[in-house]
Amino acid sequence: MNWFSDNVNQIALLGAAVIILATVFVVGKYIKQMKTDRSTGVLADDTWDGIGEYKNPLPMGWAITFLLTMIWAMWYLTLGYPVNSYSQIGEWNEEVQAYNKAFEEKHKNIKGEELTNMGEGVFLVQCAPCHGIDAEGINGKAQGFVDQRMTKEQVLDVINRGSAALGDNPAGNLGYPMMVMPPMMATGADAEAIAEYVSKGMKGDAPVSFAACSSCHGVDGKGLGGQSPNIAEFDEILIMKTLEHGKVGSIGDMPKFNDGRLSDIQKRAVSTYILSLSK
Amino acid sequence: MFHWLEKNPFFFAVGVFLVIAFAGIISILPDFAKSSQPLVGTKPYTVLELTGRHVYIKDSCNACHSQLIRPFKNETDRYGKYSLSGEYAYDRPFLWGSKRTGPDLMRIGNYRTTDWHANHMWEPTAIVPGSIMPRYRHHFTNIANFETAYAEAVTVKKVFNVPYDKPNMPKLGTFEEAQKEALIEAKKIAAAMKKDTDNNDIKTALDNGQIPEIVALIAYLNSLK
Evaluate whether residue B40 is within a structural domain.
no
How many H-runs (helices) and E-runs (strands) does chain B carry? 10, 0
Residue B103 has a pLDDT of 94
Mind listing the pLDDT tens digit for each residue in A175-224? 888 878 888 888 888 888 888 888 888 887 888 888 888 888 888 888 88
* CA nearest to B82 within chain A: A89
CA nearest neighbour of B153 among B143, B163, B167: B163
Residues B98, B175 within the same domain: yes
Reported as a pLDDT band with limits 50, 70 and 90, residue B58 is very high
- Phi/psi region, residue A202 (left: phi>0; alpha: psi -120 to 50; beta: rest), is left
Residues B78, B98 within the same domain: yes
For residue A170, pLDDT beyond 80: no
Chain B, residues 132-161, CB within 8 A of chain A, namely none
More confidently predicted of A63 and A80: A63
Evaluate whether residue B9 is within a structural domain.
yes
Residues B15, B51 within the same domain: no
- CB-nearest to A259 from B80, B119, B196 is B80
Q: Work out the average pLDDT over B80-98.
A: 91
Q: Do A180 and A260 contact (CB within 8 A), yes or no?
A: no
Residues B65, B124 within the same domain: yes
* CA nearest to A258 within chain B: B110
CB contact under 8 A, B71 and A91: yes
Residues B28, B100 within the same domain: no
Give the number of domains in chain B: 2
Burial of B103 per CB tally in 10 Å (0-12, 13-18, 19+)? middle
Residues B204, B148 within the same domain: yes
Reported as a pLDDT band with limits 50, 70 and 90, residue B126 is confident
Evaluate whether residue B217 is within a structural domain.
yes
Evaluate whether residue B208 is within a structural domain.
yes
H or E element: which one contains A253?
strand A253-254
Residues B93, B191 within the same domain: yes
Chain B residues inside the 8 Å CB shell of A91: 71
Question: What is the spatial distance between Cα B67 and Cα B88, in angstroms, rounded to a whole number?
Answer: 10
Chain B residues inside the 8 Å CB shell of A256: 110
* CA nearest to A87 within chain B: B71
DSSP letters for A91-160:
HHHHHHHHHHHHHHHHTTT--HHHHHHHHHHHIIIIIHHHH-TTSS-TTTTS--SSS-S--HHHHHHHHH
Rounded to the nearest 10°, the torsion over CA A166, A170, A174, A177 is: 140
* CA nearest to B108 within chain A: A255
CA nearest neighbour of A268 among A241, A240, A227: A240
Residues B63, B20 within the same domain: no
Q: Which amino acid is located at B111 in the chain?
A: Y
Evaluate whether residue B123 is within a structural domain.
yes
The CATH number given to whatever domain includes residue B149 is 1.10.760.10
Residue B197 has a pLDDT of 58
CB contact under 8 A, B71 and A92: yes
- On whether any CB of chain A is under 8 Å from the CB of B76, the answer is yes
Range of the domain at B109: 47-222
Residues B21, B110 within the same domain: no
CB contact under 8 A, A252 and B115: yes
CA distance B158 to chain A (A): 35
- CB-nearest to B71 from A89, A126, A256 is A89
CA distance B159 to chain A (A): 34
Evaluate whether residue B42 is within a structural domain.
no
For residue B41, pLDDT beyond 80: yes
Mind listing the pLDDT tens digit for each residue in A4-55? 888 999 999 999 999 999 999 999 999 999 898 887 788 888 888 888 888 8
Evaluate whether residue B41 is within a structural domain.
no
CB contact under 8 A, B77 and A88: no
- CB-nearest to A95 from B73, B80, B127 is B73
Residue A246 has a CB neighbour count (10 Å cut-off) of: 20
- CB-nearest to A133 from B77, B129, B194 is B129
Question: What is the spatial distance between Cα A124 and Cα A270, in angstroms, rounded to a whole number?
Answer: 10
Residue B195 has a pLDDT of 65
Burial of A87 per CB tally in 10 Å (0-12, 13-18, 19+)? exposed
Return the percent helix, strand and coil in chain B, to nearest 5. 60, 0, 40
- On whether any CB of chain A is under 8 Å from the CB of B222, the answer is no
CB contact under 8 A, A89 and B111: no
Mind listing the pLDDT tens digit for each residue in A103-120? 999 998 888 889 999 999
Q: Which residue in A250, A261, A263 has the most chain B C-beta atoms within 10 A of its own C-beta, making it the best mutation to test that interface?
A: A261
Residues B211, B160 within the same domain: yes
CA nearest neighbour of B215 among B203, B154, B65: B203
- CB-nearest to B111 from A89, A141, A255 is A255
* CA nearest to A128 within chain B: B128
Please tell me what DSSP assigns to residue A162: -
Residues B19, B84 within the same domain: no
- Phi/psi region, residue A200 (left: phi>0; alpha: psi -120 to 50; beta: rest), is alpha
The complex scores an ipTM of: 0.77
Residues B52, B26 within the same domain: no
- On whether any CB of chain A is under 8 Å from the CB of B125, the answer is no
CA distance B81 to chain A (A): 9
CA nearest neighbour of A119 among A226, A264, A233: A264
* pTM, 2 dp: 0.78
Q: Work out the average pLDDT over A93-97.
A: 93
